Amino acid sequence: MAAAKVATLQSAAGTLAGVSQSKLLDRKIHAAPLNLRRSLFVPSFEAKHNGMGRSKQATRGGGVRAALAESPAKPEAAASQNGAVSEGDNCFGVFCLTYDPTKEEKPKTWKKTLRIAVSGAAGQISNHLLFKIAAGEVFGQDQPIALNLLGSSRSREALEGVAMELEDSLFPLLREVSIGVEPMQVFRDADWALLIGAKPRGPGMERSDLLELNGQIFADQGKALNAVANKDVKVLVVGNPCNTNALICMENAPDIPKKNFHALTRLDENRAKCQLALKAGVWYDAVTNMTIWGNHSTTQVPDFVNAKIYGHPVKDVIKDTHWLENDFTPAIQTRGGKLIKKWGRSSAASTAVSIADAIKSLVTPTPEGDWFSSGVWSEGNPYGIAQDLVFSLPCRSEGDGNYEVVSGLEIDAWLRERIQKSEEELQAEKNCVKHLFGEFGGVCDLPFGDTLLPGEQ
Ligand SMILES: NC(=O)c1ccc[n+]([C@@H]2O[C@H](COP(=O)([O-])OP(=O)(O)OC[C@H]3O[C@@H](n4cnc5c(N)ncnc54)[C@H](O)[C@@H]3O)[C@@H](O)[C@H]2O)c1
């Protein structure tokens, strides 16, 4: 861990103890976001301990407090008040600077900073997502963001690379970035946890092996969220198999409401909307009320029975039932595999967009009469689906981060049969991982062979 140097700037052009003036200017010009650059000219600086999970504070008298790490690539190098570096201070580079929000016009109108924890932050999906979040495209243009980035020990260097790119992007809303490989540190005070990081399936690895391998990660992360995150943290699990990983995480976090856990099925919803629009010859915003039922696997059920095009039932617009049942449905179930054949890797940009969509659906009110899909706790659902699974269902939100499951959708015999298959699969997956949340006696017998989405393993 590098020693940090702490400085007190007496005036705009003042002296910086321990760091040369030229070094300060260099950092001003090349590293600080515009708003921080402005802050650097506020008359009084003094060093301030800026540990992870602590909010940045304005100094008395309107000064700006700064803790300058010796190297921006040394994330642990946040300085304490006496210049020492303390364990657990993972703020990165320029984001270790604090500022006085009363000196800036815009922050006066901003909301309280939201702390977003992201696992797998050095991966492909995060490489798109983090920049959307920091640009205000997910939580809004008046919402300052703190990013707590979690990587595996193997991706540690890459994580620093991500943080450096975030520095260089000068996002005004991005007020803090911390990086680390310990969930207990990185999840501290998180308002949202986007759990993207997971291990890919190795050669010859059975699906049940993957469930076990990744299940352990999500058990540990659930415990960490329970211990250190905001008690109302919203958790979105992306790493596959995401429904069962979300269940494991939820069961290991007994103090967090179960309704706060989601598994990402929004990418499947978006894919389904696009294919229906294409077939109907309409732009995709005409397609609404799209439900993905069940598991994010090839047993998922994209629901053309209840979906609408320009407010009309899909079946009234697309009269080709054979296409809906035999082409559309498998096309959505296997879209990821087709994409990987073209790209040579799994979907990352469109997954990031769908994560952004999934979050926006929870923080903005759902349009009248519409709904969205999310893998949610199945307890009390009105469709007779087994309790205590994480199952993709139609949901609505008032925009407060919470949701309710939409009741009253028509479940015809065709849908029923397929929804039951996905339910059976999720129950079997649950049996495989019960030991990860303290239940015993589960037999791991997966009924439908390899149903992981191709290319999303
Ligand atoms: N639900 C969906 O719709 C959907 C869609 C696409 C991909 N996925 C899944 O998302 C996951 C990530 O995909 P990607 O393309 O970003 O993969 P990636 O391999 O590019 O990135 C994953 C990152 O996670 C890190 N990681 C591994 N274990 C970790 C741990 N315990 N803690 C923190 N970080 C860890 C890895 O080091 C890597 O940097 C995969 O499981 C993939 O199957 C889900």
Averaged pLDDT, 197-208: 78
pLDDT, residue 453, reads 53
User: pLDDT of 374-395, one tens digit each?
Assistant: 999 999 999 999 999 999 999 9
User: pLDDT of 262-307, one tens digit each?
Assistant: 999 999 999 999 999 999 999 999 999 999 999 999 999 999 999 9
Confidence of residue 253 (pLDDT cuts 50, 70, 90): very high
Asked if the ipTM is above 0.85, the reply is yes
Ligand 1 centroid, distance to 425 Cα (angstroms): 22
Residues 160 and 234 in one domain: yes
pLDDT, residue 302, reads 98
The counts of H helices and E strands in the chain are 14, 16
Number of neighbours of residue 102 by Cβ within 10 angstroms: 11
Confidence of residue 451 (pLDDT cuts 50, 70, 90): low
Number of neighbours of residue 334 by Cβ within 10 angstroms: 14
Task: Tell me the two tokens of residue 158.
Answer: 């890459």
From start to end of 98-141, where are the E strands? 114-119
> The domain containing residue 403 runs over which residues?
265-435
Residue at 122 is within a domain: yes
User: pLDDT of 100-155, one tens digit each?
Assistant: 777 777 777 889 999 999 999 999 999 999 999 999 999 999 999 999 999 999 99
C-beta separation of 196 from 164 below 8 A:
no
Residue from 156, 162, 196 whose mutation best tests the ligand 1 pocket (most atoms within 8 A of CB): 196
Runs of H (alpha helix) within 75-155: 124-134
Residue at 284 is within a domain: yes
Residue at 23 is within a domain: no
Tokens 């229906």 belong to residue: 276
Residues 257 and 314 in one domain: no
Q: Phi/psi of residue 143, each to 5°?
A: -115, 100
Residues 250 and 307 in one domain: no
Residue at 90 is within a domain: no
**CATH number of the CATH domain containing 401:** 3.90.110.10
Task: Tell me the two tokens of residue 28.
Answer: 């001003």
Ligand 1 centroid, distance to 245 Cα (angstroms): 12
Higher pLDDT pick, 258 / 448: 258
Residue at 444 is within a domain: no
Higher pLDDT pick, 24 / 76: 76
Residue at 402 is within a domain: yes
C-beta separation of 151 from 228 below 8 A:
no
**CATH number of the CATH domain containing 117:** 3.40.50.720
Q: Which of 30, 128, 296, 312 does the annotation list as catalytic?
A: 296
Ligand 1 centroid, distance to 197 Cα (angstroms): 4
Residue from 129, 131, 149, 155 whose mutation best tests the ligand 1 pocket (most atoms within 8 A of CB): 155
Element (H, E) at 322: helix 321-323
Ligand 1 centroid, distance to 151 Cα (angstroms): 10
Nearest CA to ligand 1 atom 17: 123
C-beta separation of 304 from 243 below 8 A:
no
pLDDT, residue 56, reads 39
Shortest-distance atom of ligand 1 to CA 155: 37
Percentage of the chain lying above the pLDDT 70 cut: 77
Residues 245 and 273 in one domain: no
Residues 132 and 259 in one domain: yes
pLDDT, residue 65, reads 24
Residues 226 and 313 in one domain: no
Residues 287 and 424 in one domain: yes
Number of domains in the chain: 2
| 296 has catalytic annotation | yes
State if residue 355 touches ligand 1 by the CB under 6 angstroms criterion.
Answer: no
Residues 258 and 269 in one domain: no
